[in-house]
Structure 1
Amino acid sequence: MEQANMTDDVGNNTDNCPTIDEFRNQVYSTSYSLITVLGFVGNSFALMVLIRTYRQSSPFHVYMMNLAMSDLLCVMTLPLRVLYYVRKGQWEQGDFLCRISSYFLYVNLYCSIYFMTAMSVTRFVAIVFPVQNLRLVTMSRARFVCLGIWIFSSLASSPFLMSGQSIDPITNKTKCFEPPKSASDRLPKLQGLNNVALALGFVLPFIIILICYAGIVRTLLSRTPAARRQQNSASKAIRMIVIVLLTFLVSFMPYHIQRTIHLNFLSRKSTCSEQTFMHKSVVVTLCLAASNSCFDPMLYFFSGEGFRSRLSSLRHTVRNSTLRHTSKLKPITSSEYGESHKLDAS
């Protein structure tokens, strides 16, 4: 489904056109640093809450845990990219880490898309088919779906493991994350693979999500005002719709559209201004794609089943544990000692 290093970086298609290396290095290093901090803090905290409250588990809870783990896997490789761009495009971490850092970014990208799709279908069944929900949506099925998503995304992104570091013959620098050149023999194959990735990795999940949300909205609007006030599932569903659609429109859609345009752009002649614009758009949309790890904690907090109640329960448990620990360590004051001494004497 995925193609190796399709638009992971930008290089020069012609020697006459100016490079955008300075723009690329600044944007990538700044964006990836920010995404690393926000994504790591947000997803680590969410995963801690989900693990500590696992007794309250549900199918939606299973999808949230897997989504958080996928995001953490991605953000842990981003510091390697930051180092690469801070060093002005000089890779010093070895061939294996070059392959892995590209691989995990795209595993996360498609795991996020499919986990969001599974969460949307789960919410759709719960609201539109509440009677059949208990029979159709179970913990065992949720775990099976998660396993299938991990296997599919891992295999589909495996081409990234086939392309590692290389030596630039002009600068003699060790490179990583480099895109295909316009004259590359692999370009037709990459364009075909991109079409498959676009269809299975973005268009199909997006259509499923839109169908689910249309069904959810229709069902919610058909309820009586009293029924809407009694059930808070409606507000959770609306919040999830907003966050998931925002993630798709900001992170996933620009990247997939631009990637398709870019691969077709490489197969034709172009001016320097066109190349500069296209290369800069590669940088921007790839940063947006990586930023999906920052959107997901919003999904847990605002639309997760009982996530805020889980957080409140965890905070209450920690507070009680701290109070008990403090009471055990509390020193005996002089007045308390005097009273106890009098009691002993009497």
Structure 2
Amino acid sequence: MEYMNLTRSNSDCSSIDDFRNQVYSTAYSLITVFGLVGNGLALVVLIRTYRQSSPFHVYMLNLAVSDLLCVMTLPLRVIYYVKKGQWDQGDFLCRISSYALYVNLYCSIYFMAAMSITRFLAIVFPVQNLRLVTESRARLVCVGVWVFTCLSSSPFLMSGQHFDSVTNKTKCFEPPQGDGVQKLVVLNYLSLVVGFALPFLVILLCYAGIVRALLSRTNAARRQRGTGTRAIRMIVIVLLTFLVSFMPYHVQRTIHLHFLSRTDSNCSEKIAMQKSVVVTLSLAAANSCFDPLLYFFSGEGFRSRLSSLRQSMKGSAMYRITKMKSATEPESGENHQPRAS
């Protein structure tokens, strides 16, 4: 959450509003463009090739939907920061915009964990995998992730727009004051443990098992090289996403909440801490731009799906052209028939 104005009452410290407005408006604009293009293309490919569905495909589809729902709310944030902290879109959209970002954040983490478990079972326990991992079970997992994440993120629906008498502006995305900070600390630890640490631990254990299985394979078993390559790519992309997007945000958020309880902090420390909030939240929102890399480089046959979709579209276009030509040829022949006679 944007904790930016928690220390603004200290008149001795300069405001970082200009820095915040510039970084957020630029970052959210770029994330909107790349997120819409990447996830939109992925969603089209996944839907059009749904007959080739697999459990991994189900998780990719839900991850793309989660990213798109979040990215579509980012333009509202861009408008807010371009207007230098003036919210004109109403209380409902204020709540939904805050809510969507955190639903996407934790849905992404859980879907990545589910994808990692699926890949782990496919490589380490290939025989049992056929029985344990099915599309119907993957759909049930996705429903569970959506329900759990939506319910656990519901506190973000509780805070909407409010009028700030100091700046004479209607505000959104601002943190609670006073007693609300203590509630924020409790929510932070719950989300830190349940929403980040536990899924990340599961992912690390899965990747350790995958790497061990790949290194211990016999030459005969290495015929499944394609599966191993996809697994390595997924490990790299998921770990990169966690190290760049998820981990800095959760670590910095926890440090910042503890920092707010200090009474001996000076202005330079407060400004540095507030700027780090801006940077890490922007990186957290950027997770929507990493997910298309996951689809393209580690998705089961995603590139072949894209190629087959391109071929089918090209084939349907050629069919329509041929049909149009065949429809016009009789008419052309009729026009020339009187001249021949």
Give the TM-score of the pair, scaled to structure 2.
Answer: 0.94
Aligned to 2:171: 175
Aligned to 2:279: 284
Native 8 Å contact 1:8 1:286 kept in 2: no
CA separation in 2, counterparts of 1:188 and 1:329? 69
CA distances 1:76-111 after superposition (whole Å, capped 9, x unpaired):
000000000000000000111100000000000000
Superposition pairs of residues 90-105 of structure 1, within 5 angstroms: 90-105=86-101
Superposition pairs of residues 186-265 of structure 1, within 5 angstroms: 186-265=180-259
How far is the alpha carbon of 1:179 from its aligned partner?
2.2
One-letter amino acid of the structure 2 residue matched with residue 23 of structure 1: F
CA separation in 2, counterparts of 1:109 and 1:268? 29
SS at match of 1:167: strand
Kindly indicate whether residue 2 of structure 2 is the aligned counterpart of residue 7 of structure 1: yes
SS at match of 1:231: helix
Native 8 Å contact 1:10 1:282 kept in 2: no
One-letter amino acid of the structure 2 residue matched with residue 250 of structure 1: V
**Displaced runs of 4 or more, over 4 A:** 8-11
Aligned to 2:302: 307
How far is the alpha carbon of 1:9 from its aligned partner?
4.3
CA separation in 2, counterparts of 1:180 and 1:261? 17
Kindly indicate whether residue 52 of structure 2 is the aligned counterpart of residue 59 of structure 1: no
Kindly indicate whether residue 296 of structure 2 is the aligned counterpart of residue 317 of structure 1: no
CA distances 1:32-63 after superposition (whole Å, capped 9, x unpaired):
00000100111011000000000011110000
How far is the alpha carbon of 1:218 from its aligned partner?
0.3
| Gapped regions of structure 2 (runs ≥ 5) | none
CA separation in 2, counterparts of 1:188 and 1:48? 43
CA separation in 1, counterparts of 2:142 and 2:224? 32
2:80 to 81, 84, 103: 84
- Are the structure 2 counterparts of residues 230 and 118 from structure 1 closer, same or farther at C-alpha, using a change threshold of 3 Å? closer
**Bigger CA drift: 34-43 or 222-231?**
222-231
CA separation in 2, counterparts of 1:103 and 1:245? 25
How far is the alpha carbon of 1:227 from its aligned partner?
3.0
**Bigger CA drift: 242-251 or 216-225?**
216-225
Superposition pairs of residues 12-31 of structure 1, within 5 angstroms: 12-31=8-27
CA separation in 1, counterparts of 2:9 and 2:150? 31
Aligned to 1:112: 108
Aligned to 2:260: 266
CA separation in 2, counterparts of 1:34 and 1:9? 22
CA separation in 2, counterparts of 1:9 and 1:64? 34
One-letter amino acid of the structure 1 residue matched with residue 324 of structure 2: L
One-letter amino acid of the structure 1 residue matched with residue 325 of structure 2: K
| Gapped regions of structure 1 (runs ≥ 5) | 1-5
Aligned to 1:37: 33
CA separation in 1, counterparts of 2:76 and 2:181? 27
How far is the alpha carbon of 1:15 from its aligned partner?
2.0
SS at match of 1:174: strand
CA separation in 1, counterparts of 2:90 and 2:35? 25
Native 8 Å contact 1:9 1:177 kept in 2: no
CA separation in 2, counterparts of 1:62 and 1:215? 23
CA distances 1:249-292 after superposition (whole Å, capped 9, x unpaired):
00000000000011111111211101100000000000000000
**Percentage of identical aligned residues:** 71
**Bigger CA drift: 15-24 or 186-195?**
186-195
Native 8 Å contact 2:234 2:294 kept in 1: yes
CA separation in 2, counterparts of 1:230 and 1:93? 53
2:154 to 151, 155, 158: 158
CA separation in 1, counterparts of 2:104 and 2:141? 16
- Are the structure 2 counterparts of residues 53 and 170 from structure 1 closer, same or farther at C-alpha, using a change threshold of 3 Å? same
CA separation in 1, counterparts of 2:292 and 2:94? 28
- Are the structure 2 counterparts of residues 121 and 59 from structure 1 closer, same or farther at C-alpha, using a change threshold of 3 Å? same
One-letter amino acid of the structure 1 residue matched with residue 70 of structure 2: C
How far is the alpha carbon of 1:16 from its aligned partner?
1.9
- Are the structure 2 counterparts of residues 8 and 64 from structure 1 closer, same or farther at C-alpha, using a change threshold of 3 Å? farther
